[in-house]
A and B are shown apart, each in its own frame.
Chain A
Amino acid sequence: MKVLYNWLKEFVDVKASAAELRERLSLAGIAIDTIEETEAGPVLEADLTANRPDALGHRGFAREIAALERKRLKPLEIRLPEAVATPEPATSVTIDCPELCGRYTARVIRGVRVGPSPDWLKKRLEAIGQGSINNVVDVTNYVMYELGQPLHTFDYDRLGEHRIVVRRARPGETMRTLDGVERKLTREMCVIADASRPVALGGLMGGEESEITSASRNILLESAWFEPASIRRTSKALGLRTEASVRFGRGADPEMAEPASQRAAQLIVELAGGEILAGAVDAYPRPLEPLSIELSSTEIVRIMGAEVPGREAEAILAALGFEPERVPCESPHEIRWRCRRPSWRLDVAREIDLIEEVARHYGYDRFPSRLPPARQAASRLPHAATFDRLRERLIGLGYQEFIAVSLVDPARDETFRPVDAEPVRLANPLSEDASILRTSGVVSLMSALEWNLNRGQRNLRLFEIGRSYHLSPKGKPRETNTLTLGITGLAREKRVYPEEDQAREFGFEDLKGDLDSLGALCGGFAWHEGGPQWLEAGRAARLKLALDVVGAELGFAGLLARGVAEEWKLRQPVYLAELALDPMLEAAERAAGRRRFRPIPRLPGVERDFSLVVPEGTTFAQVREAVTAAGVAEVTAIDPVDRYRGGQVPAGKYSLLVRVRFESPEQTFTEEQLNDFTSRILASLEQTLGATLRAK
Chain B
Amino acid sequence: MAEDLHIVEQTLEQLGAETPERVAALFAEVRADFDRAFGSVTDEASWHALRDGWLGRKKGVLRLITENWLKPAGPALKPAAGQGLNELRAYVEGKKFGAFTASATLVAEKLDLSLPGVERALGTRHLVRQTLEEIERIFLRLGYAVVGGPEIETPYYNFEALNMPEFHPARDMWDTFYVDTPPGTPSQLVLRTHTSPMQIRVMERQQPPVRVIVPGKVYRRDNPDASHLFMFHQIEGLAVDHDITFADFKGTIEFFVHEFLGKNAKTRLRPSYFPFTEPSAEVDATCIVCSGRGCRTCKQTGWLEIMGAGMVDPAVYGFVKYDAKKVSGFAFGMGVDRLAILKYGIDDIQVLLQNDVRFLRQSP
**Binary contact track B210-230/A, C-beta < 8 Å → 1, others 0:** 010000010101010000011
List, in ascending order, chain B residues with CB within 8 A of A428's CB.
177-178, 221
A382 to B149, CA, bound (A): 12
List of B residues within 8 angstroms of A370 by Cβ: 247-248, 250-251
With beta carbons under 8 angstroms apart, the residue of B167, B219, B357 that contacts A229 is B167
For B339-364 the 0/1 string (1 means CB < 8 A from A) is 00000000000001111111011000
Query: Do B123 and A463 have beta carbons less than 8 Å apart?
Result: yes
Contact A378 B141 (CB under 8 A): yes
Cross-interface CB contact of B357 among A367, A460, A496, cutoff 8 Å: A460
Q: Known contacts being A395-B125, A475-B182, is A375 close to B209, with CB within 8 Å?
A: yes
Of B141, B150, B245, B282, most A-chain CB atoms within 10 Å: B245
Annotate B309-337 by CB proximity to A: 1 below 8 A, 0 otherwise.
00101100000000000001000000000
Contact of A451 among B177, B311, B314, B354 (CB under 8 A): B354
Contacts of B221 in A (CB 8 A): 428, 430
Would A455 and B142 count as touching, CB distance under 8 A?
no
**Which residues of the other chain, A, contact B124 by a CB distance below 8 angstroms?**
395, 400-401
CA distance A125 to B345 in the complex (A): 41
Q: Judge if B234 is at the interface, Cβ distance under 8 Å.
A: no
Q: Is the CB of B143 within 8 A of A305?
A: no
Interface residue? A365 (CB, 8 A) = yes
What is the bound-complex CA distance between A302 and B328, given in angstroms? 8
With an 8 A cutoff between CB atoms, is A148 at the interface?
Answer: no
A360: CB under 8 A from chain B?
yes
Whether a CB of chain B sits under 8 angstroms from the CB of A397 is: yes
- In the complex the two chains form, what is the Cα distance from A27 to B284 in whole Å? 11
Which residue of B has the minimal Cβ distance to A356? Answer: B279
Please report the number of residue pairs spanning A and B whose Cβ atoms sit closer than 8 angstroms: 241
- Knowing A405-B229, A467-B151 touch, does A350 contact B142 (C-beta < 8 A)? no
Q: Assuming the A-B contacts A369-B254, A401-B129, A428-B178, are A232 and B169 also in contact, with contact meaning beta carbons closer than 8 angstroms in the complex?
A: yes
The distance in angstroms between the C-alpha atoms of A273 and B11, with both chains bound, is: 127
Once the chains bind, are A353 and B278 in contact (CB under 8 Å)? Answer: yes
In the complex, the answer to whether B123 meets A374 with C-beta atoms within 8 Å is: no
**What separation, in Å, do the CA atoms of A425 and B152 have in the docked complex?**
11
A502 close to B (CB within 8 Å): no
Q: Are A27 and B270 in contact (CB under 8 A)?
A: yes
Q: In the complex the two chains form, what is the Cα distance from A457 to B173 in whole Å?
A: 40
Q: Does B172 contact A (CB under 8 A)?
A: yes
How many angstroms between the C-alpha atoms of A405 and B191 in the bound complex? 13
Is there an interface contact between B140 and A402, defined as CB atoms closer than 8 Å? no
Q: Which of A3-11, A47-55, A75-83 contacts B (4 or more CB under 8 A)?
A: A47-55
Is A305 in contact with B245, judged by CB distance below 8 angstroms? yes
CB distance from A72 to the nearest CB of B (A): 21
Count of chain B residues near A, Cβ 8 A? 86
A55 to chain B, nearest CB (A): 12
- Taking a contact as CB atoms under 8 Å apart, the answer to whether A451 and B355 are in contact is yes
Chain A contacts of B170 at CB under 8 A? Answer: 50-51
Q: Which of B121, B140, B169 contacts A250 (CB 8 A)?
A: B169
Residue of B nearest to A473 (CB): B182
Report whether B251 and A380 are in contact in the complex, using a CB–CB cutoff of 8 Å.
Answer: no
Q: How many chain A residues touch the partner (CB < 8 A)?
A: 92
Known: A356-B278, A374-B211, A377-B143. A496 touches B115 (CB 8 A): yes
Contact indicator B247/A461 (Cβ below 8 Å): no
Within the assembled complex, what's the spacing in Å between the Cα atoms of A355 and B279? 7
Q: Assuming A371-B255, A372-B251, A374-B211, is B169 touching A429 (CB within 8 A)?
A: no
Which B residues touch A50, using CB under 8 A?
A: 169-170, 172-173, 273
Known: A52-B273, A229-B167, A352-B278. A457 touches B358 (CB 8 A): yes
Say whether B182 contacts A404, CB under 8 Å. Answer: no
Contact digits for B277-312, partner A, Cβ 8 Å, 1 yes 0 no: 011111000000000000000000000000000010
Is A657 close to B, CB under 8 A?
Answer: no
**Which A residues are CB-close (under 8 A) to B128?**
403
A228 at the interface (CB under 8 A from B): yes
B268 within 8 A of A: yes
Does B244 sit at the interface, judged by CB under 8 A?
yes
A378 touches B270 (CB 8 A): no
Q: Mark B162-202, 1 if CB is under 8 A from A, else 0.
A: 00000101101100011111101100010100000000000
Cβ of B352 and Cβ of A403 under 8 Å apart?
yes
Residue of B whose beta carbon sits closest to that of A368: B247
Q: Roughly how many angstroms separate A574 CA and B356 CA in the complex, as a whole number?
A: 17
**Which residues of B from 25 to 76 have beta carbons under 8 Å from A?**
none
Q: Mark B229-259, 1 if CB is under 8 A from A, else 0.
A: 1110000000101011111101110110000
> What string of 1s and 0s marks CB contacts (under 8 Å) between B118-139 and chain A?
1011111110110000001001
A461 and B231 form a contact (CB under 8 A): no
Answer yes or no: B146 CB below 8 A from chain A CBs: yes
Q: Select from chain A the residue with minimum beta-carbon distance to B183.
A: A475
Interface centre among B126, B223, B229, B282 (most CB of A within 10 A): B126
Q: Does A321 belong to the interface (CB within 8 Å)? A: no
Known contacts A50-B169, A305-B245; A407 and B123 CB within 8 A of each other: no
Check B272 against A372 for contact (C-beta < 8 Å).
no
A302, A368, A400 pick with most chain B CB within 10 angstroms: A400
Residues 83-131 (chain B) with a chain A CB within 8 angstroms: 115, 118, 120-126, 128-129
Is the CB of B262 closer than 8 A to any CB of chain A?
no
How far, in whole Å, are A303 and B240 apart by their CA atoms in the complex? 12
Contacts known (A249-B169, A305-B246); A352 close to B146, Cβ less than 8 A:
no
**CB-CB under 8 A for A397 and B123, given A302-B245, A372-B239, A381-B148:** yes
Q: A232-B167, A475-B184, A477-B150 are in contact. Are A398 and B247 (CB under 8 A)?
A: no
| A462 CB within 8 Å of chain B | yes
Distance to closest chain A CB from B196 (angstroms): 16
Instruction: Kindly report which residue of chain B lies nearest to residue A381, judged by CB atoms.
Output: B146
Minimum CB distance partner of B280 in chain A? A356
Q: Are B123 and A400 in contact (CB under 8 A)?
A: yes
Q: With A29-B270, A500-B118 as given contacts, are A303 and B246 in contact (CB-CB < 8 Å)?
A: yes
Considering the chains assembled together, what is the distance between the CA atoms of A402 and B279 in angstroms?
Answer: 38
Q: List 19 A-B contacts (CB under 8 A).
A: A304-B247, A306-B247, A364-B270, A364-B281, A367-B247, A367-B250, A369-B250, A370-B248, A370-B251, A371-B251, A375-B209, A376-B211, A382-B148, A401-B124, A402-B355, A403-B126, A403-B352, A427-B177, A461-B121
Residues of A within 8 A of B (CB): 26-29, 31, 49-52, 228-229, 232-233, 236, 249-251, 301-306, 350, 352-353, 355-356, 359-360, 364-365, 367-372, 374-382, 384, 391, 394-407, 424-430, 434, 437, 447-448, 451-452, 455, 457, 460-463, 467, 469, 471, 475, 477, 479, 495-497, 500
Given A251-B169, A402-B355, 17 more pairs with CB closer than 8 A: A236-B167, A303-B246, A304-B279, A355-B279, A356-B278, A356-B280, A359-B246, A369-B247, A372-B239, A376-B143, A395-B124, A398-B121, A404-B355, A426-B177, A430-B230, A447-B355, A495-B118
Residues of chain B whose beta carbon lies under 8 Å from any beta carbon of chain A: 115, 118, 120-126, 128-129, 136, 139-148, 150-152, 167, 169-170, 172-173, 177-182, 184-185, 189, 191, 209, 211, 217, 219, 221, 223, 229-231, 239, 241, 243-248, 250-252, 254-255, 268-273, 278-282, 311, 313-314, 328, 352-358, 360-361
